[in-house]
Chains A and B, each alone.
Chain A
Amino acid sequence: MSKLKSSSSELDLDRPNIEDYLPSGSIQEPHGKLCLRDLLDISPTLTEAAGAIVDDSFTRCFKSIPPEPWNWNIYLFPLWCMGVLVRYLVLFPLRVIVLTVGWIIFLSCYIPVHFLLKGHDKLRKKLERCLVELICSFFVASWTGVVKYHGPRPSIRPKQVFVANHTSMIDFIILEQMTAFAVIMQKHPGWVGLLQSTILESVGSIWFNRSEAKDREIVARRLREHIEGADNNPLLIFPEGTCVNNHYTVMFKKGAFELGCTVCPVAIKYNKVFVDAFWNSRKQSFTMHLLQLMTSWAVVCDVWYLEPQNLKPGETPIEFAERVRDIISVRAGLKKVPWDGYLKYSRPSPKHRERKQQGFAESVLRRLEEI
Protein backbone atom coordinates (compact mmCIF):
# COMPACT_ATOMS: atom_id res chain seq x y z
CA MET A 1 0.00 0.00 0.00
CA SER A 2 1.69 3.21 -1.12
CA LYS A 3 1.75 5.86 1.55
CA LEU A 4 0.78 9.41 0.70
CA LYS A 5 2.19 11.93 3.11
CA SER A 6 -0.13 13.83 5.37
CA SER A 7 -0.46 17.37 4.07
CA SER A 8 2.18 19.66 5.54
CA SER A 9 1.23 21.97 8.34
CA GLU A 10 1.53 24.93 5.99
CA LEU A 11 -1.43 23.70 4.01
CA ASP A 12 -3.49 23.54 7.22
CA LEU A 13 -3.34 27.29 7.54
CA ASP A 14 -4.93 27.65 4.15
CA ARG A 15 -8.35 26.48 4.98
CA PRO A 16 -11.15 27.84 7.12
CA ASN A 17 -12.95 25.61 9.55
CA ILE A 18 -14.20 22.53 7.70
CA GLU A 19 -16.45 21.63 10.60
CA ASP A 20 -18.60 24.64 9.71
CA TYR A 21 -19.46 23.00 6.42
CA LEU A 22 -19.56 19.29 7.16
CA PRO A 23 -22.79 17.72 8.35
CA SER A 24 -22.44 17.69 12.09
CA GLY A 25 -25.97 16.54 12.76
CA SER A 26 -24.53 13.35 14.16
CA ILE A 27 -23.08 15.22 17.10
CA GLN A 28 -26.34 15.39 19.02
CA GLU A 29 -25.81 16.61 22.53
CA PRO A 30 -26.92 13.71 24.68
CA HIS A 31 -27.52 14.36 28.30
CA GLY A 32 -28.44 12.50 31.36
CA LYS A 33 -26.74 9.65 33.05
CA LEU A 34 -24.12 7.86 31.01
CA CYS A 35 -25.01 4.23 30.44
CA LEU A 36 -23.40 1.29 28.63
CA ARG A 37 -25.51 1.83 25.54
CA ASP A 38 -24.28 5.40 25.15
CA LEU A 39 -20.70 4.29 25.26
CA LEU A 40 -21.16 1.35 22.92
CA ASP A 41 -23.25 3.32 20.47
CA ILE A 42 -20.80 4.18 17.72
CA SER A 43 -23.59 4.54 15.17
CA PRO A 44 -23.12 8.29 14.48
CA THR A 45 -19.43 7.83 13.63
CA LEU A 46 -20.15 4.66 11.65
CA THR A 47 -22.89 6.39 9.71
CA GLU A 48 -20.57 9.24 8.80
CA ALA A 49 -17.98 6.78 7.54
CA ALA A 50 -20.51 4.74 5.57
CA GLY A 51 -21.95 7.96 4.18
CA ALA A 52 -18.49 8.97 2.99
CA ILE A 53 -18.05 5.57 1.31
CA VAL A 54 -21.35 5.89 -0.51
CA ASP A 55 -20.98 9.49 -1.63
CA ASP A 56 -18.75 12.36 -0.70
CA SER A 57 -18.53 15.94 -1.80
CA PHE A 58 -14.81 15.82 -2.53
CA THR A 59 -14.86 13.04 -5.13
CA ARG A 60 -17.87 14.67 -6.74
CA CYS A 61 -15.71 17.68 -7.67
CA PHE A 62 -13.49 15.58 -9.88
CA LYS A 63 -16.05 13.34 -11.48
CA SER A 64 -16.49 13.84 -15.20
CA ILE A 65 -20.24 13.58 -15.53
CA PRO A 66 -20.85 11.97 -18.91
CA PRO A 67 -23.68 13.41 -20.98
CA GLU A 68 -26.83 11.36 -21.55
CA PRO A 69 -26.25 9.13 -24.56
CA TRP A 70 -28.77 10.21 -27.14
CA ASN A 71 -27.70 8.02 -30.03
CA TRP A 72 -29.45 4.84 -28.93
CA ASN A 73 -32.30 5.15 -31.35
CA ILE A 74 -32.44 3.76 -34.92
CA TYR A 75 -33.17 7.24 -36.25
CA LEU A 76 -30.66 9.09 -34.12
CA PHE A 77 -27.82 6.63 -34.48
CA PRO A 78 -27.11 7.27 -38.19
CA LEU A 79 -27.27 10.99 -37.44
CA TRP A 80 -24.73 10.55 -34.71
CA CYS A 81 -22.52 8.50 -37.03
CA MET A 82 -22.62 11.26 -39.61
CA GLY A 83 -21.72 13.70 -36.89
CA VAL A 84 -18.72 11.57 -35.93
CA LEU A 85 -17.58 11.46 -39.53
CA VAL A 86 -17.92 15.21 -39.89
CA ARG A 87 -16.10 15.85 -36.64
CA TYR A 88 -13.21 13.48 -37.27
CA LEU A 89 -12.80 13.67 -41.03
CA VAL A 90 -13.77 17.25 -41.80
CA LEU A 91 -13.49 19.44 -38.73
CA PHE A 92 -10.45 17.80 -37.21
CA PRO A 93 -8.17 18.09 -40.28
CA LEU A 94 -9.33 21.68 -40.81
CA ARG A 95 -8.51 22.49 -37.22
CA VAL A 96 -5.12 20.86 -37.41
CA ILE A 97 -4.39 22.98 -40.48
CA VAL A 98 -5.52 26.14 -38.68
CA LEU A 99 -3.33 25.31 -35.71
CA THR A 100 -0.31 24.49 -37.87
CA VAL A 101 -0.68 27.73 -39.82
CA GLY A 102 -0.97 29.57 -36.54
CA TRP A 103 2.21 28.00 -35.19
CA ILE A 104 4.13 28.77 -38.37
CA ILE A 105 3.11 32.42 -38.27
CA PHE A 106 3.79 32.61 -34.56
CA LEU A 107 7.22 31.01 -34.65
CA SER A 108 8.34 32.94 -37.70
CA CYS A 109 7.53 36.18 -35.91
CA TYR A 110 8.43 35.22 -32.37
CA ILE A 111 11.90 33.82 -32.93
CA PRO A 112 13.21 36.88 -34.79
CA VAL A 113 11.57 39.26 -32.31
CA HIS A 114 12.97 37.34 -29.35
CA PHE A 115 16.53 37.23 -30.58
CA LEU A 116 16.93 40.33 -32.72
CA LEU A 117 15.27 42.78 -30.37
CA LYS A 118 17.28 41.68 -27.34
CA GLY A 119 18.37 45.23 -26.66
CA HIS A 120 15.01 46.91 -27.09
CA ASP A 121 13.17 45.35 -24.18
CA LYS A 122 10.08 47.50 -24.17
CA LEU A 123 9.34 46.96 -27.83
CA ARG A 124 10.20 43.28 -27.58
CA LYS A 125 7.86 42.75 -24.68
CA LYS A 126 5.04 44.51 -26.45
CA LEU A 127 5.48 42.43 -29.59
CA GLU A 128 5.81 39.19 -27.64
CA ARG A 129 2.61 39.99 -25.78
CA CYS A 130 0.75 40.43 -29.07
CA LEU A 131 2.23 37.26 -30.46
CA VAL A 132 1.25 35.19 -27.42
CA GLU A 133 -2.28 36.54 -27.68
CA LEU A 134 -2.20 35.58 -31.33
CA ILE A 135 -1.17 31.97 -30.82
CA CYS A 136 -3.79 31.58 -28.12
CA SER A 137 -6.41 32.86 -30.52
CA PHE A 138 -5.28 30.21 -32.98
CA PHE A 139 -5.61 27.56 -30.29
CA VAL A 140 -9.09 28.73 -29.45
CA ALA A 141 -10.00 28.72 -33.14
CA SER A 142 -8.71 25.18 -33.42
CA TRP A 143 -11.42 24.03 -31.03
CA THR A 144 -13.99 26.31 -32.60
CA GLY A 145 -14.02 28.19 -29.36
CA VAL A 146 -16.97 30.49 -28.86
CA VAL A 147 -16.07 32.64 -25.91
CA LYS A 148 -18.31 35.38 -24.62
CA TYR A 149 -16.42 37.90 -22.53
CA HIS A 150 -18.42 39.97 -20.08
CA GLY A 151 -17.16 42.91 -18.12
CA PRO A 152 -14.30 45.36 -18.52
CA ARG A 153 -11.10 44.05 -20.07
CA PRO A 154 -8.14 43.67 -17.71
CA SER A 155 -5.70 46.56 -17.73
CA ILE A 156 -1.97 46.46 -17.11
CA ARG A 157 -1.46 48.03 -13.71
CA PRO A 158 0.80 47.18 -10.84
CA LYS A 159 -0.55 45.90 -7.53
CA GLN A 160 -3.26 43.71 -8.92
CA VAL A 161 -3.75 39.99 -9.49
CA PHE A 162 -6.44 38.09 -11.32
CA VAL A 163 -7.95 34.95 -9.88
CA ALA A 164 -10.16 32.47 -11.71
CA ASN A 165 -11.77 29.10 -11.15
CA HIS A 166 -9.93 26.24 -12.83
CA THR A 167 -11.37 23.53 -15.04
CA SER A 168 -8.58 22.73 -17.44
CA MET A 169 -5.35 24.22 -18.70
CA ILE A 170 -7.35 25.66 -21.57
CA ASP A 171 -8.75 28.20 -19.08
CA PHE A 172 -5.42 29.89 -19.33
CA ILE A 173 -5.44 29.89 -23.14
CA ILE A 174 -8.95 31.29 -23.27
CA LEU A 175 -8.06 34.14 -20.96
CA GLU A 176 -4.69 34.68 -22.59
CA GLN A 177 -6.12 35.35 -26.03
CA MET A 178 -7.75 38.49 -24.68
CA THR A 179 -4.93 39.68 -22.42
CA ALA A 180 -1.36 38.47 -22.15
CA PHE A 181 -1.34 37.41 -18.52
CA ALA A 182 1.65 36.18 -16.63
CA VAL A 183 0.70 32.94 -15.02
CA ILE A 184 1.72 30.82 -12.09
CA MET A 185 1.59 27.15 -12.96
CA GLN A 186 2.81 23.71 -12.05
CA LYS A 187 5.72 22.75 -14.27
CA HIS A 188 4.62 19.96 -16.59
CA PRO A 189 6.70 17.40 -18.43
CA GLY A 190 6.75 16.89 -22.17
CA TRP A 191 5.88 19.39 -24.85
CA VAL A 192 3.81 21.46 -22.46
CA GLY A 193 6.88 21.93 -20.29
CA LEU A 194 8.83 23.04 -23.32
CA LEU A 195 6.23 25.66 -24.16
CA GLN A 196 6.22 26.75 -20.55
CA SER A 197 9.97 27.28 -20.40
CA THR A 198 10.18 29.13 -23.66
CA ILE A 199 7.13 31.11 -24.58
CA LEU A 200 5.47 31.52 -21.23
CA GLU A 201 8.75 32.64 -19.69
CA SER A 202 8.60 35.66 -21.94
CA VAL A 203 5.28 36.82 -20.52
CA GLY A 204 6.78 36.54 -17.08
CA SER A 205 5.47 33.30 -15.62
CA ILE A 206 6.26 31.72 -12.29
CA TRP A 207 6.65 27.98 -11.74
CA PHE A 208 5.94 26.00 -8.64
CA ASN A 209 6.26 22.41 -7.58
CA ARG A 210 3.36 21.00 -5.60
CA SER A 211 5.38 18.33 -3.90
CA GLU A 212 7.93 20.67 -2.37
CA ALA A 213 6.90 22.22 0.91
CA LYS A 214 9.68 24.86 0.97
CA ASP A 215 8.62 25.93 -2.50
CA ARG A 216 5.78 28.01 -1.09
CA GLU A 217 8.04 30.64 0.45
CA ILE A 218 10.04 31.04 -2.73
CA VAL A 219 6.89 31.30 -4.81
CA ALA A 220 5.31 33.80 -2.41
CA ARG A 221 8.38 35.99 -2.71
CA ARG A 222 8.37 35.84 -6.50
CA LEU A 223 4.68 36.70 -6.55
CA ARG A 224 5.34 39.79 -4.49
CA GLU A 225 8.20 40.84 -6.72
CA HIS A 226 6.09 40.41 -9.80
CA ILE A 227 3.16 42.55 -8.76
CA GLU A 228 5.46 45.37 -7.69
CA GLY A 229 6.80 45.78 -11.22
CA ALA A 230 4.82 48.32 -13.22
CA ASP A 231 5.92 46.79 -16.47
CA ASN A 232 5.06 43.21 -15.75
CA ASN A 233 2.08 41.55 -17.32
CA PRO A 234 -0.94 41.19 -15.02
CA LEU A 235 -0.66 38.02 -12.99
CA LEU A 236 -3.25 35.29 -13.32
CA ILE A 237 -3.62 32.83 -10.46
CA PHE A 238 -5.85 29.77 -10.13
CA PRO A 239 -6.21 29.61 -6.36
CA GLU A 240 -7.95 26.22 -6.38
CA GLY A 241 -4.58 24.71 -7.23
CA THR A 242 -6.09 21.91 -9.30
CA CYS A 243 -8.62 21.30 -12.06
CA VAL A 244 -12.20 20.91 -10.88
CA ASN A 245 -15.12 19.71 -12.97
CA ASN A 246 -16.83 23.11 -13.50
CA HIS A 247 -19.78 22.21 -11.25
CA TYR A 248 -18.05 22.92 -7.96
CA THR A 249 -15.32 25.09 -6.53
CA VAL A 250 -12.86 23.78 -3.98
CA MET A 251 -11.22 25.99 -1.42
CA PHE A 252 -9.03 28.82 -2.57
CA LYS A 253 -5.48 28.89 -1.33
CA LYS A 254 -4.80 32.08 0.53
CA GLY A 255 -1.47 32.79 -1.24
CA ALA A 256 -3.02 35.13 -3.78
CA PHE A 257 -4.98 36.98 -1.13
CA GLU A 258 -2.24 37.98 1.24
CA LEU A 259 -0.13 39.93 -1.23
CA GLY A 260 -1.64 43.22 -0.18
CA CYS A 261 -2.98 44.08 -3.61
CA THR A 262 -6.29 44.26 -5.45
CA VAL A 263 -7.78 40.94 -6.46
CA CYS A 264 -9.83 40.87 -9.67
CA PRO A 265 -12.05 37.78 -9.84
CA VAL A 266 -12.68 36.10 -13.16
CA ALA A 267 -15.40 33.46 -13.49
CA ILE A 268 -15.36 30.86 -16.28
CA LYS A 269 -18.26 28.58 -17.10
CA TYR A 270 -18.22 26.07 -19.93
CA ASN A 271 -21.33 25.00 -21.75
CA LYS A 272 -21.38 21.23 -21.48
CA VAL A 273 -23.81 20.73 -24.35
CA PHE A 274 -20.93 21.14 -26.77
CA VAL A 275 -18.10 19.50 -24.90
CA ASP A 276 -17.10 18.75 -21.34
CA ALA A 277 -14.00 20.87 -20.95
CA PHE A 278 -13.02 19.38 -17.60
CA TRP A 279 -9.49 18.04 -17.78
CA ASN A 280 -9.41 14.99 -15.54
CA SER A 281 -5.64 14.86 -15.23
CA ARG A 282 -5.85 11.48 -13.56
CA LYS A 283 -7.60 9.98 -16.55
CA GLN A 284 -6.13 11.83 -19.55
CA SER A 285 -2.92 13.41 -20.62
CA PHE A 286 -3.15 17.00 -21.81
CA THR A 287 -2.51 15.89 -25.39
CA MET A 288 -5.47 13.51 -25.29
CA HIS A 289 -7.54 16.26 -23.74
CA LEU A 290 -6.67 18.65 -26.57
CA LEU A 291 -7.44 16.00 -29.16
CA GLN A 292 -10.78 15.41 -27.51
CA LEU A 293 -11.54 19.11 -27.77
CA MET A 294 -10.44 19.25 -31.38
CA THR A 295 -12.78 16.42 -32.32
CA SER A 296 -15.81 17.92 -30.63
CA TRP A 297 -18.23 20.36 -32.11
CA ALA A 298 -17.17 23.44 -30.21
CA VAL A 299 -15.92 24.80 -26.92
CA VAL A 300 -18.48 27.29 -25.72
CA CYS A 301 -17.91 29.25 -22.59
CA ASP A 302 -18.62 32.46 -20.74
CA VAL A 303 -15.95 34.54 -19.09
CA TRP A 304 -16.94 37.20 -16.60
CA TYR A 305 -14.45 39.81 -15.45
CA LEU A 306 -15.84 40.79 -12.07
CA GLU A 307 -15.42 43.82 -9.86
CA PRO A 308 -11.96 44.10 -8.28
CA GLN A 309 -11.91 43.35 -4.57
CA ASN A 310 -9.70 44.55 -1.77
CA LEU A 311 -9.04 43.17 1.67
CA LYS A 312 -11.65 44.69 3.96
CA PRO A 313 -10.47 46.09 7.29
CA GLY A 314 -10.51 43.33 9.89
CA GLU A 315 -10.73 40.58 7.28
CA THR A 316 -8.19 37.76 7.28
CA PRO A 317 -6.73 36.55 3.97
CA ILE A 318 -8.64 33.29 4.36
CA GLU A 319 -11.94 35.15 4.77
CA PHE A 320 -11.01 37.31 1.80
CA ALA A 321 -10.32 34.18 -0.27
CA GLU A 322 -13.69 32.71 0.70
CA ARG A 323 -15.46 35.93 -0.14
CA VAL A 324 -13.91 36.04 -3.61
CA ARG A 325 -14.68 32.34 -4.09
CA ASP A 326 -18.27 33.12 -3.24
CA ILE A 327 -18.39 35.91 -5.84
CA ILE A 328 -16.96 33.65 -8.53
CA SER A 329 -19.14 30.66 -7.62
CA VAL A 330 -22.32 32.69 -7.68
CA ARG A 331 -21.49 34.25 -11.02
CA ALA A 332 -20.57 30.97 -12.69
CA GLY A 333 -23.28 28.91 -11.01
CA LEU A 334 -20.89 26.61 -9.16
CA LYS A 335 -21.41 24.94 -5.80
CA LYS A 336 -18.86 25.45 -3.08
CA VAL A 337 -17.27 22.57 -1.20
CA PRO A 338 -15.02 22.95 1.83
CA TRP A 339 -12.20 20.78 0.60
CA ASP A 340 -8.63 21.66 -0.24
CA GLY A 341 -7.92 20.67 -3.83
CA TYR A 342 -4.56 19.26 -2.79
CA LEU A 343 -6.37 16.43 -0.98
CA LYS A 344 -6.27 14.85 -4.41
CA TYR A 345 -2.60 14.24 -3.77
CA SER A 346 -2.32 13.87 -0.01
CA ARG A 347 -4.25 12.77 3.06
CA PRO A 348 -6.19 15.16 5.28
CA SER A 349 -4.27 16.37 8.29
CA PRO A 350 -4.87 14.54 11.60
CA LYS A 351 -6.17 17.82 13.04
CA HIS A 352 -9.71 17.10 11.80
CA ARG A 353 -9.87 13.69 13.34
CA GLU A 354 -8.49 15.12 16.56
CA ARG A 355 -11.24 17.71 16.66
CA LYS A 356 -13.89 14.98 16.45
CA GLN A 357 -12.11 12.99 19.13
CA GLN A 358 -11.95 15.99 21.38
CA GLY A 359 -15.68 16.60 20.97
CA PHE A 360 -16.47 13.02 21.87
CA ALA A 361 -14.13 12.89 24.86
CA GLU A 362 -15.45 16.13 26.31
CA SER A 363 -19.03 14.99 25.93
CA VAL A 364 -18.37 11.69 27.71
CA LEU A 365 -16.40 13.28 30.54
CA ARG A 366 -19.04 15.93 31.01
CA ARG A 367 -21.79 13.35 31.32
CA LEU A 368 -19.68 11.38 33.75
CA GLU A 369 -19.72 14.32 36.07
CA GLU A 370 -23.47 14.58 35.85
CA ILE A 371 -23.88 11.23 37.55
Chain B
Amino acid sequence: MGNASSTLTQYDIEEVQRHCNNLFSQQEIVSLYQRFCQLDRNAKGFISADEFLSVPEFAMNPLSQRLLKMVDGLNFKDFVAFLSAFSAKASLAQKVEVIFKVYDSDCNGKVTFNDMIQVLQDLAGSFMSDQQREEVLGQVLHEAGYTKESVLLLDDFIKVFDHANLKMEVEVPVD
Protein backbone atom coordinates (compact mmCIF):
# COMPACT_ATOMS: atom_id res chain seq x y z
CA MET B 1 0.00 0.00 0.00
CA GLY B 2 1.79 3.06 -1.20
CA ASN B 3 1.91 6.53 0.23
CA ALA B 4 -0.97 8.20 -1.59
CA SER B 5 0.55 11.63 -2.00
CA SER B 6 3.43 10.15 -3.95
CA THR B 7 1.01 9.28 -6.74
CA LEU B 8 -0.51 12.75 -6.63
CA THR B 9 1.94 15.43 -7.71
CA GLN B 10 1.88 19.05 -6.61
CA TYR B 11 0.61 19.97 -10.09
CA ASP B 12 -2.27 17.53 -9.75
CA ILE B 13 -3.22 18.90 -6.35
CA GLU B 14 -3.20 22.46 -7.63
CA GLU B 15 -5.27 21.54 -10.66
CA VAL B 16 -7.88 19.84 -8.49
CA GLN B 17 -7.84 22.81 -6.16
CA ARG B 18 -8.53 25.19 -9.05
CA HIS B 19 -11.31 22.93 -10.29
CA CYS B 20 -13.07 23.13 -6.94
CA ASN B 21 -12.55 26.87 -6.67
CA ASN B 22 -10.10 26.60 -3.78
CA LEU B 23 -12.78 25.36 -1.42
CA PHE B 24 -10.52 22.64 -0.08
CA SER B 25 -7.03 23.02 1.26
CA GLN B 26 -4.24 21.00 -0.30
CA GLN B 27 -4.09 18.72 2.72
CA GLU B 28 -7.81 18.05 2.45
CA ILE B 29 -7.39 17.16 -1.21
CA VAL B 30 -4.66 14.66 -0.30
CA SER B 31 -6.96 13.11 2.32
CA LEU B 32 -9.81 12.97 -0.18
CA TYR B 33 -7.49 11.25 -2.63
CA GLN B 34 -6.64 8.60 -0.05
CA ARG B 35 -10.35 8.12 0.56
CA PHE B 36 -11.03 7.98 -3.19
CA CYS B 37 -8.39 5.28 -3.64
CA GLN B 38 -9.77 3.38 -0.69
CA LEU B 39 -13.28 3.32 -2.18
CA ASP B 40 -12.09 2.69 -5.74
CA ARG B 41 -11.04 -0.88 -5.10
CA ASN B 42 -9.50 -1.81 -8.43
CA ALA B 43 -7.92 1.55 -9.25
CA LYS B 44 -10.21 2.22 -12.21
CA GLY B 45 -10.02 5.98 -11.74
CA PHE B 46 -13.64 6.29 -10.65
CA ILE B 47 -15.86 4.86 -7.93
CA SER B 48 -18.71 2.66 -9.12
CA ALA B 49 -22.19 2.75 -7.61
CA ASP B 50 -21.60 -0.61 -5.98
CA GLU B 51 -18.50 0.67 -4.22
CA PHE B 52 -20.40 3.67 -2.87
CA LEU B 53 -23.10 1.35 -1.61
CA SER B 54 -20.52 -0.74 0.21
CA VAL B 55 -20.36 2.09 2.75
CA PRO B 56 -23.25 1.10 5.03
CA GLU B 57 -23.87 4.66 6.28
CA PHE B 58 -24.31 5.81 2.69
CA ALA B 59 -26.48 2.85 1.66
CA MET B 60 -28.83 3.55 4.56
CA ASN B 61 -29.36 7.17 3.55
CA PRO B 62 -32.82 7.85 2.06
CA LEU B 63 -31.34 10.00 -0.71
CA SER B 64 -28.61 7.54 -1.63
CA GLN B 65 -30.08 6.63 -5.02
CA ARG B 66 -30.39 10.26 -6.08
CA LEU B 67 -26.88 11.05 -4.95
CA LEU B 68 -25.57 7.96 -6.69
CA LYS B 69 -26.77 9.35 -10.01
CA MET B 70 -24.70 12.45 -9.32
CA VAL B 71 -21.51 10.78 -8.11
CA ASP B 72 -21.44 7.50 -9.98
CA GLY B 73 -18.45 7.27 -12.27
CA LEU B 74 -16.93 10.61 -11.36
CA ASN B 75 -13.18 10.94 -11.68
CA PHE B 76 -11.25 12.37 -8.77
CA LYS B 77 -11.41 15.99 -9.94
CA ASP B 78 -15.18 15.94 -10.32
CA PHE B 79 -15.52 13.98 -7.08
CA VAL B 80 -13.77 16.79 -5.22
CA ALA B 81 -15.80 19.39 -7.09
CA PHE B 82 -19.00 17.68 -5.99
CA LEU B 83 -17.90 17.53 -2.37
CA SER B 84 -16.70 21.13 -2.42
CA ALA B 85 -20.24 22.34 -1.79
CA PHE B 86 -19.95 20.67 1.60
CA SER B 87 -16.81 22.52 2.53
CA ALA B 88 -17.00 25.06 5.33
CA LYS B 89 -15.88 27.74 2.88
CA ALA B 90 -18.64 27.10 0.37
CA SER B 91 -21.14 29.89 -0.13
CA LEU B 92 -24.87 29.59 0.47
CA ALA B 93 -25.48 29.78 -3.26
CA GLN B 94 -23.21 26.79 -3.89
CA LYS B 95 -24.98 24.73 -1.25
CA VAL B 96 -28.39 25.65 -2.64
CA GLU B 97 -27.18 24.66 -6.09
CA VAL B 98 -26.42 21.14 -4.88
CA ILE B 99 -29.84 20.90 -3.28
CA PHE B 100 -31.39 22.11 -6.52
CA LYS B 101 -29.49 19.50 -8.52
CA VAL B 102 -30.72 16.74 -6.23
CA TYR B 103 -34.30 17.80 -6.93
CA ASP B 104 -33.72 18.35 -10.63
CA SER B 105 -33.17 14.69 -11.44
CA ASP B 106 -33.59 15.14 -15.19
CA CYS B 107 -31.09 18.01 -15.21
CA ASN B 108 -33.22 20.38 -17.26
CA GLY B 109 -32.80 23.29 -14.88
CA LYS B 110 -36.42 23.10 -13.73
CA VAL B 111 -37.95 21.60 -10.63
CA THR B 112 -41.61 20.69 -10.95
CA PHE B 113 -44.21 19.72 -8.38
CA ASN B 114 -43.61 16.11 -9.36
CA ASP B 115 -39.87 16.37 -8.72
CA MET B 116 -40.54 17.69 -5.25
CA ILE B 117 -43.10 14.98 -4.53
CA GLN B 118 -40.56 12.35 -5.52
CA VAL B 119 -37.90 13.69 -3.16
CA LEU B 120 -40.49 13.84 -0.41
CA GLN B 121 -41.28 10.22 -1.19
CA ASP B 122 -37.62 9.26 -0.79
CA LEU B 123 -37.43 11.09 2.52
CA ALA B 124 -40.69 9.89 4.07
CA GLY B 125 -40.93 6.45 2.51
CA SER B 126 -44.13 4.57 3.16
CA PHE B 127 -44.87 6.63 6.26
CA MET B 128 -46.72 9.30 4.34
CA SER B 129 -49.49 8.53 1.88
CA ASP B 130 -49.54 10.04 -1.61
CA GLN B 131 -52.42 12.20 -0.56
CA GLN B 132 -50.63 13.52 2.51
CA ARG B 133 -47.56 14.35 0.47
CA GLU B 134 -49.52 16.28 -2.13
CA GLU B 135 -51.46 18.07 0.55
CA VAL B 136 -48.41 19.16 2.52
CA LEU B 137 -46.45 20.24 -0.52
CA GLY B 138 -49.41 22.00 -2.08
CA GLN B 139 -50.02 23.89 1.12
CA VAL B 140 -46.49 25.16 1.67
CA LEU B 141 -46.14 26.05 -2.02
CA HIS B 142 -49.31 28.05 -1.87
CA GLU B 143 -48.13 29.94 1.19
CA ALA B 144 -44.87 30.76 -0.55
CA GLY B 145 -46.73 32.16 -3.51
CA TYR B 146 -46.39 29.24 -5.90
CA THR B 147 -48.92 26.80 -7.29
CA LYS B 148 -48.88 23.11 -8.11
CA GLU B 149 -48.20 24.00 -11.74
CA SER B 150 -45.26 26.24 -10.86
CA VAL B 151 -41.87 25.37 -12.17
CA LEU B 152 -39.03 26.39 -9.88
CA LEU B 153 -35.66 27.48 -11.18
CA LEU B 154 -32.36 27.79 -9.32
CA ASP B 155 -33.12 31.46 -8.63
CA ASP B 156 -36.38 30.49 -6.95
CA PHE B 157 -34.51 28.07 -4.72
CA ILE B 158 -31.98 30.76 -3.84
CA LYS B 159 -34.85 33.07 -2.95
CA VAL B 160 -36.45 30.41 -0.74
CA PHE B 161 -33.19 29.81 1.08
CA ASP B 162 -32.33 33.46 1.34
CA HIS B 163 -30.59 34.17 4.63
CA ALA B 164 -31.04 30.58 5.74
CA ASN B 165 -28.57 29.15 8.14
CA LEU B 166 -27.80 26.04 6.10
CA LYS B 167 -25.68 23.63 8.07
CA MET B 168 -24.26 21.58 5.28
CA GLU B 169 -20.64 20.96 6.17
CA VAL B 170 -18.52 17.88 6.12
CA GLU B 171 -15.19 17.66 7.80
CA VAL B 172 -12.41 16.02 5.84
CA PRO B 173 -10.21 14.09 8.28
CA VAL B 174 -6.65 15.24 7.85
CA ASP B 175 -4.09 13.00 9.51
Contact = CB atoms under 8 A, between A and B. Distances in A.
Interface of A: 1-2, 4, 22, 34-59, 63-64, 66, 69, 282, 339, 343, 347-348, 352-354, 356-358, 360-362, 364-365, 368, 371
Q: Which 7 A-B pairs have the closest CB atoms?
A: A357-B125, A361-B127, A52-B57, A361-B124, A36-B144, A52-B58, A43-B168
B120 interface: yes
A343 B169 CA distance: 27
Q: A39, A63, A66, A368: which has the most chain B beta carbons within 10 Å?
A: A39
21 contacts: A4-B53, A37-B164, A40-B103, A41-B161, A47-B170, A49-B64, A53-B35, A54-B32, A54-B86, A54-B172, A56-B55, A57-B57, A58-B55, A282-B41, A353-B60, A354-B125, A358-B125, A360-B123, A364-B136, A365-B136, A368-B136
Contact of A34 (B55, B136, B166, B169): B136
B56 to A, nearest CB: 5
B154 interface: no
A68 to B, nearest CB: 9
A56 B3 CA distance: 21
A49 B95 contact: no
Given A22-B57, A368-B136, A43 B172 contact: no
Contacts of B64: 49
B20 interface: no
Nearest to B68: A49
B50 interface: yes
Nearest to B67: A49
B38 A36 contact: no
B160 A36 contact: yes
A51 B58 CA distance: 8
Contact of B161 (A37, A361, A365): A37
A42 B63 contact: yes
B49 interface: yes
Contacts of A343: 56
Contacts of B58: 49, 52-53, 56
B56 A58 contact: yes
B95 A45 contact: no
B127 A54 contact: no
Interface residues of B, number: 62
Contacts of B169: 47
B128 A50 contact: no
A250 B128 CA distance: 34
A47 B167 contact: yes
Given A35-B140, A356-B62, A45 B56 contact: no
A348 B116 CA distance: 27
B153 to A, nearest CB: 13
Contacts of A69: 3
A154 to B, nearest CB: 35
B172 A41 contact: no
Contact of A364 (B59, B124, B166): B124
A371 B127 CA distance: 20
A319 B80 CA distance: 41
Nearest to A35: B140
A45 B57 contact: no
B126 to A, nearest CB: 7
B62 A357 contact: yes
A1 B127 contact: no
B116 A40 contact: yes
B132 interface: yes
B52 interface: yes
A45 B140 contact: no
Contacts of A35: 140, 143-144
Contacts of B52: 53
B125 A339 contact: no
A52 B61 contact: yes
B157 interface: yes
B124 A360 contact: yes
Contacts of B116: 39-40
B141 to A, nearest CB: 6
B119 to A, nearest CB: 7
